[in-house]
Chain A
Amino acid sequence: MNIKDIENLAELAKIELSDKEKKTLLKDLDGILGYVKQVGEVEVKDFEVEYKNKNVWREDKLKPSVFSPDLIIKQFPDSQDNFLKVKKIL
């Protein structure tokens, strides 16, 4: 891994990093990946997994909501007439 890889990952993760942060991350990731890559050597039998999980559905019915629209709108970083304001997308 090199600095370019870190920059690429930061771009994918939408995080801006300083040069110092990049260097530290490169060192940290080398250490961590060096440790976790041992899972690659584990021999695992390809046993059939019994999935006890199932999809959980609910009826498509309106339910009274406990959410307060005011509290939600108050959390908007920027708003106008109760609408959320964002930067132009296109």
Chain B
Amino acid sequence: MIDIKNLTIEKAGEMMKKGELTSVDLVSACLKNIEERNKELNIFLEVFDDVLEQAKYADEIIKAGKGTKLTGIPLAIKDNILITGRKVSSGSKMLENYVASYDAFVIKKLKEAGAVLIGRTNMDEFAMGSSTENSTYGPTKNPIDPSRVPGGSSGGSAAAVASGMALGALGSDTGGSIRQPASFCGLVGMKSTYGAVSRSGLTAMSSSFDQIGPFAKTSEDAKIIFNCIIGKDDMDSTSADLNSFPALKAERKIIGIPRDFLKEGVDQEILKNFEETLDKLKKKGYKVKDVIMPYLKYSLPVYYIIMPAEVSTNLSRLDGVRYGLRKEGENVFDTFKKSRSAGFGPETKRRIILGTYVLSHGYYDAYYNKAWKVRRAIMKEYENIFQDVDLIMTPTAPTTAFKFGEKKDPLQMYLEDIFTVSANLTGLPAISIPSGKSSSSLPIGIQFIGSLFSDESLFAIEKDLRDNK
């Protein structure tokens, strides 16, 4: 049997091209892993009934010599990305039976490339959470240690790749929802420059932050998926063509370290690993500079003002009128209230109420408008820093994968995003790459943030680190 857990997309693609392997073999191996462990780990909410047909079709394309790097490759899709005729619930009871009427831009691209879409993966409701514990359909377990969370909100997608149920996956990242689970599951996870990947067909959570991105075992694999899903799309007016921006200088090896930002609330083991990784990179020819970024520490509070504000307005569309759950009440307003109360889970309600508060009369200036001013100051700060350095390096998350129920207080959970949110606030591209394991054998991730449209260059770092091992 093929060992999916140790097979890369790159290698599988080569083998299929040479005729040493078929997509049907690959998909069958994934299905076997799903059959063995999905019940226990709760990764896939649905495995599509036509996966073997998709694989057979891909095999024909490969035979005809018309395959791409993704033809026949089984990929897992987060449950907030639309596939025509398929359920897409966003981990919510509200959309439990919602069926997509069109393909997301990224799905169109994957279908054109001949990828096999295996199924939809579990997630925190409407992508709000850092552990996948907020899913209506129960939490996903981390395949590396099932007593721990896989991270979130794209926990299902990360766990699917880490458990050999798919070779790669798509997730979405609003404040770290790809990078943090990638770090918890020992994978590469990437969030692009805002606009590089179209949001058309992604269930909107917080529109000025949301981006779709890849999970994979290596940066080469992540890059293959990334190159397939990018592109300007008329259906997303904020999308941009990466190729239309001036090329960056080839060598991008000056790393900035915001030391002041790394002192509090970070596990000692993670800090130790951080320093070791820095040493490895120095040996690989990277230069390291300490940078001072006084506004950076306000990223998290700014995020937890603007994001819930956008959530409260975005989710107002879910009122039981046109689609989703409807609970009939006495009148139209009563129906809204009953539908929303029954359809939304506790974290979603919390963020809607919080967002309503920061946008309400009398508080709007103090919270929302002020947060936007600070957001701009953080953007400016990065812009200035990138005159001196090519990359900013931080741990991906302040902890390794934690146990279920460990973070009961919502604020404690929000602090998981401390290092990841600034890339979403500023629209900058960022990647999490595996950087070894803790003393209890849990994966640790390291994050690199690049300047706008430097997406491509982020993929090179992981290979440098891997070659050094």
Asked if B305 contacts A36 (CB within 8 A), the reply is yes
- Residues in chain B near residue A58, CB distance under 8 A: 234
- Residues in chain A near residue B409, CB distance under 8 A: 31
Min Cβ gap A35→B in Å is 6
Q: With A9-B356, A66-B102 as given contacts, are A14 and B326 in contact (CB-CB < 8 Å)? A: no
What separation, in Å, do the CA atoms of A51 and B356 have in the docked complex? Answer: 27
Cβ contact of B411, chosen from A31, A38, A56, A87, cutoff 8 A: A31
Asked if A74 contacts B305 (CB within 8 A), the reply is no
Q: In the complex, what residue of chain B is closest to A31 when comparing beta carbons?
A: B411
Q: Which of A46-90 contact B (CB under 8 A)?
A: 47, 49, 56, 58, 66-68, 71-72, 74-78, 84, 86-89
Asked if A88 contacts B323 (CB within 8 A), the reply is no
Min Cβ gap A47→B in Å is 7
Cβ contact of B353, chosen from A15, A16, A37, A45, cutoff 8 A: A15
- Residues in chain A near residue B333, CB distance under 8 A: 14
- Residues in chain A near residue B19, CB distance under 8 A: none
Min Cβ gap A27→B in Å is 9
What separation, in Å, do the CA atoms of A13 and B373 have in the docked complex? Answer: 26
Cβ contact of B101, chosen from A9, A33, A71, A84, cutoff 8 A: A71
**B403 close to chain A: CB less than 8 A:** no
Q: With A32-B304, A32-B411, A86-B321 as given contacts, are A17 and B332 in contact (CB-CB < 8 Å)? A: no
Q: In the complex, what residue of chain A is closest to B373 when comparing beta carbons?
A: A44
Q: With A32-B410, A75-B101 as given contacts, are A39 and B302 in contact (CB-CB < 8 Å)? A: yes
Asked if B301 contacts A15 (CB within 8 A), the reply is no
Interface centre among A6, A33, A58 (most CB of B within 10 A): A33
Asked if A15 contacts B323 (CB within 8 A), the reply is no
Asked if A15 contacts B371 (CB within 8 A), the reply is no
Min Cβ gap A48→B in Å is 10
Q: In the complex, what residue of chain B is closest to A78 when comparing beta carbons?
A: B326
Chain A contact residues (Cβ within 8 angstroms of B): what range? 35 or more
Asked if B322 contacts A32 (CB within 8 A), the reply is no
Cβ contact of A15, chosen from B321, B341, B376, B411, cutoff 8 A: B341
Asked if A42 contacts B298 (CB within 8 A), the reply is yes
Asked if A39 contacts B349 (CB within 8 A), the reply is no
**B261 close to chain A: CB less than 8 A:** no
Asked if A15 contacts B237 (CB within 8 A), the reply is no
Cβ contact of A28, chosen from B312, B324, B350, B373, cutoff 8 A: B350
Majority-rule SS of B interface residues? helix
Asked if A67 contacts B101 (CB within 8 A), the reply is yes
- Residues in chain B near residue A71, CB distance under 8 A: 84-85, 99-101
Asked if A68 contacts B312 (CB within 8 A), the reply is no
Asked if B366 contacts A31 (CB within 8 A), the reply is no
What separation, in Å, do the CA atoms of A37 and B100 have in the docked complex? Answer: 39
Interface string of A8-31 (1 = CB under 8 A from B): 011011111100010011001101
Q: Which of B257-304 contact A (CB under 8 A)?
A: 295, 298, 301-302, 304
Interface string of B349-373 (1 = CB under 8 A from A): 1101110110010000011001101
Min Cβ gap A79→B in Å is 10
Min Cβ gap B377→A in Å is 5
Min Cβ gap A19→B in Å is 13
Cβ contact of B304, chosen from A13, A17, A36, A75, cutoff 8 A: A36
What separation, in Å, do the CA atoms of A4 and B322 have in the docked complex? Answer: 31
Asked if A49 contacts B321 (CB within 8 A), the reply is no
- Residues in chain B near residue A40, CB distance under 8 A: 366, 370
Interface string of B313-346 (1 = CB under 8 A from A): 0001001111111101101110111101100101
Asked if B304 contacts A35 (CB within 8 A), the reply is yes
- Residues in chain B near residue A39, CB distance under 8 A: 298, 301-302, 305, 367, 370-371, 374
Asked if B101 contacts A15 (CB within 8 A), the reply is no
Interface centre among A14, A35, A72 (most CB of B within 10 A): A14
For the complex of A and B, the 7 pairs showing the least CB-CB separation, nearest first, are A77-B326, A56-B237, A71-B101, A75-B323, A16-B341, A36-B301, A14-B336
Given contacts A16-B338, A39-B298, A66-B103, 11 further A-B contacts (CB under 8 A): A9-B357, A12-B356, A13-B356, A15-B340, A31-B410, A45-B377, A56-B237, A56-B238, A78-B326, A86-B321, A87-B328
